Every structure is written in structure tokens, then in C-alpha cells.
């Protein structure tokens, strides 16, 4: 019997607290840059953050590159598209 929060056939390889703004929404996008870096965009469910950009080239040590704020607290943001 598994305890709550445990997943079958999965293991945690890295973690980042997103500077305390871990309310990630359903929107995530991964982009591989020409230099080989892997950049992950995570949309937040709502204020104060719009999205967070992480360098996940080393998946065991993801690093926050930047976080973007929403213009005000009456906006919900939970999707992201990267081209």
C-alpha cells in the first residue's frame, strides 16, 4: 500500500521551490536552445506571478532564471506557449 503523495514507477530527480511561488498551473513548456541548454517555462495559477523560467539543463539542480509578475491581482494566468 502506498502512502499519500507517492507515485508508482517514478522518482524525484530534482526540485526547486520557485522562490516560494510554487503554484504552478497546467501550463509548462520546454525549449532546447542551440547551445544545448534546456529552458523550462512554468505558468502560475494566479497572482502575483505570471510565469517562471528555469534552466533545467541539469535536471537534478533546476535554477530559476527569472520570474515575471502579473500587472495586478485580478488576473489569472495558468497557460504558456513558447515557439
Distance, CA of 60 to CA of 82 (rounded, Å): 23
Judge whether 48 and 68 are in contact, CB under 8 Å.
Answer: no
Q: Which residue has the cell 525549449?
A: 31
pLDDT category of residue 9 using cuts at 50, 70 and 90: confident
Ordered by start, the domain boundaries in the chain are: 23-69
pLDDT of residue 47: 87
What predicted TM-score, i.e. pTM, was given to this entire model? Answer: 0.82
Tens digit of each residue's pLDDT (9 = 90 or more) over 10-53: 888 999 999 999 888 778 999 999 999 999 999 988 889 899 99
Question: CB–CB of 12/59 below 8 Å?
Answer: no
Amino acid at each position: 500500500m502506498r502512502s499519500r503523495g507517492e507515485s508508482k514507477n517514478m522518482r524525484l530527480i530534482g526540485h526547486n521551490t520557485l522562490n516560494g511561488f510554487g503554484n504552478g498551473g497546467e501550463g509548462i513548456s520546454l525549449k532546447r536552445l542551440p547551445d544545448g541548454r534546456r529552458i523550462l517555462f512554468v505558468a502560475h495559477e494566479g497572482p502575483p506571478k505570471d510565469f517562471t523560467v528555469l534552466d533545467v539543463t541539469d535536471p537534478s539542480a533546476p535554477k530559476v532564471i527569472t520570474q515575471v509578475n502579473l500587472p495586478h491581482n485580478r488576473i489569472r494566468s495558468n497557460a504558456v506557449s513558447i515557439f
